[in-house]
């Protein structure tokens, strides 16, 4: 029992620890890759902005022309000072801007909001060799003033990163001068400091030459890393990724702009990521030790006080298993064993009740099945009765009555077989003719039925009862009994080989403009739904006609059957009347498969 309790628990702890550590590492990688991505985008935006700003030396014609004049030209020197001031103010973190014009051997420094000029000056000797380069970003270094004297010297601790741009005579590559922009480290640290926890993590930004442009450890700035992880990143050949080395996780991403091809690396100690898992593992081990002592004591007590009563209960269960469902399982004990006996007895009572209920349900289902069969008989009986009455009317030479009863019988037979299979349009139109025949008798020929059907359309397949509700709607709401020129028309035609149009039109009362607008809005909402969201309303016909649900159901059924290859349009006809146009795409449909011919 001790082994059965300890071994699974220990194995579970080990598995949980492994899964938890892997999950924590994966989550840390995903979160930090997203964090580096955001930092990369922000840095790239700032670097691109600095690049665009430095390129203003080409986009400003007046400045470009001023490079051909000396400082003695007031306009030229003023234009240069204004441009340097604009660049200094446009770039966040810019400390000073230096311009050297080769042909005039003149230098200008805009610093501390003042432009200083120097004539007959050599290029500042600490500027790196820019041969063959259009631009270069120098790793951070102590600030220098390019040979100028400042009224307020910079502190010795100030570090700047300098962006150099060679100004060329366009379109040739002849060098006209050099522009240098000094930026304090806030240019990078403002974004980089948000990407890591200085107390536990480390962040490095390396330039294309491998020098550290930024690091949480300031002593590493402008140095080349010597650690093995740097070589692993170089050998990976990928722009972004992660790996684990020396109990640290390294996540890296590339910063690629028109100026830079840098790499951002974040170093996270595995112990920092797994600290919560280690604490949980220690607590689990402590609990396991305590549990072991409790289990040993409980095992001894259980062996003495519980095993025997449980054996008796097992014997009772064996009797139940053999089919004796009325066995006595009561117990006078007040402890857990007694509760177990009473719960088992309650369970037996529940099982007996469920058996009885199951029997009653089966009996009720048999009764319901019988009622369903009876319900199926009644429509057949009515249909047969109508045929008998029609035959009797014919025997008494009452052909009109026979015609009406036959039409009603055909309508009942068409409606009685409530199937989801499609029908031919000709079958649906025959049903409409029978319906109209009965309505003519009802309204004493107060309307004219116009029937114009293209014979090439009668064999297309449509959902059952798709057109008939449109005709029925006229007699329920559209017909004007006071008029003597009432008509309703049903027409079909082929617009193309695969497109058929069905039009139902009348000159009745039409629909109010407000209700028509509401119906059109509902149709548009249906067209925006996915097919899985469509649902045919189960409202009765009276409610459907009153609230427009009948028309909406027709639209829904058309979309479900034709899969968005159909359209439904409705409009009022001037001076009075209502028109519904169904446009159906029958491309690729089977002619006879699954067709209801009744």
Mean pLDDT of the region 97-105: 92
CB of 275 within 8 A of CB of 256?
Answer: no
Phi-psi region of 181 (alpha: psi -120 to 50; beta: other; left: phi over 0): beta
Of 98, 237, 247, the closest CA to residue 180 belongs to: 98
What's the half-sphere exposure (Cβ side, CA atoms, 13 Å) at 510? 15
Note the pLDDT of residue 448.
93
Q: How far, in Å, CA of 538 to CA of 549, rounded?
A: 9
User: Is a pLDDT exceeding 80 seen at residue 499?
Assistant: yes
Chain Cα centroid distance, residue 61? 50
The residue with tokens 């008494």 is 396
**Buried/exposed 69-106: b ≥16 CB within 10 Å, e otherwise:** bbbeeeebbebbbbbbebbbeebebbbbbbbbbeebeb
Note the pLDDT of residue 78.
92
224 versus 398: which is more confidently predicted?
224
Q: How far, in Å, CA of 211 to CA of 136, rounded?
A: 13
Least confident of 138-142, 446-450, 584-588: 584-588
Phi, psi (rounded to 5 degrees) for 175: -85, 125
User: Is a pLDDT exceeding 70 seen at residue 525?
Assistant: yes
**DSSP notation for 314-381:** HHHHHHHHTT-TT--------SHHHHHHHHHHHHHHHHHHHHHHHHHHHHHHHHHHHHHHHHHHHHHH
Three-class DSSP labels, 460-497: CEECCCCCHHHHHHHHHHHCCCCCCCEEEEEEEEECCC
User: Is a pLDDT exceeding 50 seen at residue 372?
Assistant: no
Tokens of 108: 């200008």
Note the pLDDT of residue 549.
61
Note the pLDDT of residue 540.
45
Length of the chain as a residue count: 598
Residue 484 CB: number of other CB atoms within 10 A? 8
Confidence of residue 367 (pLDDT cuts 50, 70, 90): low
> Where is 203: in which H helix or E strand?
strand 202-206
Query: Which percentage of the chain shows pLDDT scores above 70?
Result: 87
Q: How far, in Å, CA of 210 to CA of 226, rounded?
A: 10
Strands 114-118, 499-506: pairing kind: unpaired
- How far apart are the two ends of the chain, measured CA to CA in Å? 73
Confidence of residue 517 (pLDDT cuts 50, 70, 90): very high
Confidence of residue 587 (pLDDT cuts 50, 70, 90): confident
Note the pLDDT of residue 377.
43
Least confident of 6-15, 106-115, 578-587: 6-15
Q: Kindly report, residue by residue over 226-285, the tens digit of the pLDDT.
A: 888 888 888 888 888 999 888 899 999 999 888 889 999 999 998 888 887 778 777 878
359 versus 156: which is more confidently predicted?
156
Q: How far, in Å, CA of 99 to CA of 96, rounded?
A: 10
Mean pLDDT of the region 432-456: 88
Q: Kindly report, residue by residue over 145-159, the tens digit of the pLDDT.
A: 999 998 889 998 889
Note the pLDDT of residue 570.
93
Residue 178 CB: number of other CB atoms within 10 A? 20
Least confident of 12-16, 49-53, 309-313, 437-441: 309-313
Average pLDDT taken over every residue of the chain:
83
Note the pLDDT of residue 116.
92
User: Is a pLDDT exceeding 50 seen at residue 566?
Assistant: yes
CB of 563 within 8 A of CB of 532?
Answer: no
Confidence of residue 531 (pLDDT cuts 50, 70, 90): low
CB of 242 within 8 A of CB of 223?
Answer: no
Of 15, 133, 117, 22, the closest CA to residue 70 belongs to: 117
User: Is a pLDDT exceeding 70 seen at residue 335?
Assistant: yes
Domains recognised in the chain with CATH numbers: 54-134+153-159+167-185 (no CATH), 294-416 (1.10.287), 445-585 (3.30.565.10)
Q: Kindly report, residue by residue over 194-211, the tens digit of the pLDDT.
A: 888 888 889 999 998 899
Confidence of residue 101 (pLDDT cuts 50, 70, 90): very high
Of 268, 159, 148, the closest CA to residue 203 belongs to: 268
């Amino acid at each position: 029992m001790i082994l059965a309790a300890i071994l699974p628990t220990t194995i579970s702890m080990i598995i949980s620890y492994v899964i938890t550590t892997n999950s924590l590492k994966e989550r840390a990688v995903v979160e930090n890759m997203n964090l580096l991505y955001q930092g990369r985008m922000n840095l790239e935006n700032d670097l691109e902005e600095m690049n665009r700003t430095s390129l203003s030396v080409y986009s400003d014609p007046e400045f470009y022309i001023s490079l051909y004049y000396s400082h003695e030209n007031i306009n030229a020197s003023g234009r240069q000072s204004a441009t340097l001031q604009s660049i200094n103010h446009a770039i966040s973190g810019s400390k000073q801007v230096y311009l050297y014009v080769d042909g005039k051997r003149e230098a200008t420094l805009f610093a501390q909001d003042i432009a200083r000029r120097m004539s007959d000056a050599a290029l500042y000797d600490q500027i790196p060799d820019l041969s063959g380069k259009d631009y270069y970003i120098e790793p951070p270094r102590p600030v220098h003033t390019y040979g100028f004297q400042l009224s307020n010297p910079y502190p010795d601790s100030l570090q700047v990163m300098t962006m150099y741009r060679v100004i060329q005579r366009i379109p040739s590559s002849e060098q006209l001068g050099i522009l240098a922009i000094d930026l304090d480290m806030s240019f990078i640290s403002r974004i980089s400091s948000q990407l890591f926890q200085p107390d536990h993590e480390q962040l490095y930004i390396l330039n294309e030459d491998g020098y550290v442009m930024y690091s949480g450890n300031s002593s590493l700035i402008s140095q080349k890393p010597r650690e093995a992880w740097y070589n692993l990143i170089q050998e990976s050949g990928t722009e972004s990724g992660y790996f684990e080395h020396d109990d640290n996780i390294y996540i890296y991403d590339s910063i690629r702009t028109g100026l830079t091809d840098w790499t951002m690396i974040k170093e996270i100690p595995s112990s920092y990521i797994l600290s919560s898992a280690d604490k949980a593992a220690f607590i689990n081990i402590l609990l396991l030790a305590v549990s072991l002592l409790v289990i040993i004591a409980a095992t001894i007590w259980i062996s003495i006080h519980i095993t025997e009563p449980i054996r008796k209960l097992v014997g009772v269960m064996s009797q139940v298993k053999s089919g004796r469902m009325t066995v006595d399982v009561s117990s006078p004990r007040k402890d857990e064993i007694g509760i177990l006996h009473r719960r088992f007895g309650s369970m037996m009572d529940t099982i007996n009740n469920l058996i009885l209920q199951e029997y009653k349900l089966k009996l009720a289902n048999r009764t319901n099945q019988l009622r369903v069969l009876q319900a199926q008989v009644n429509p057949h009986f009515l249909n047969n009765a109508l045929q008998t009455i029609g035959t009797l009317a014919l025997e008494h030479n009452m052909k009109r009555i026979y015609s009406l009863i036959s039409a009603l019988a055909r309508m009942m037979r068409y409606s009685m077989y409530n199937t989801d299979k499609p029908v031919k349009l000709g079958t649906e139109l025959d049903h409409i003719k029978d319906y109209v025949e009965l309505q003519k008798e009802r309204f004493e020929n107060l309307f004219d039925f116009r029937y114009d059907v293209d014979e090439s359309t009668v064999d297309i397949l449509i959902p059952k009862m798709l057109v008939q509700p449109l005709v029925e709607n006229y007699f329920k709401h559209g017909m004007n009994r006071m008029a003597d020129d009432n008509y309703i028309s049903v027409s079909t035609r082929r617009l193309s080989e695969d497109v058929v149009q069905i039009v139902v039109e009348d000159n009745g009362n039409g629909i109010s403009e407000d209700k028509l607008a509401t119906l059109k809005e509902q149709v548009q909402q249906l067209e925006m739904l996915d097919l899985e969201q469509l649902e045919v309303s189960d409202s009765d016909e009276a409610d459907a006609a009153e609230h427009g649900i009948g028309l909406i159901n027709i639209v829904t059924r058309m979309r479900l059957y034709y899969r968005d290859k159909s359209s439904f349009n409705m409009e009022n006809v001037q001076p009075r009347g209502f028109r519904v146009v169904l446009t159906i795409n029958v491309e690729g449909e089977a002619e006879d498969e699954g067709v209801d011919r009744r």
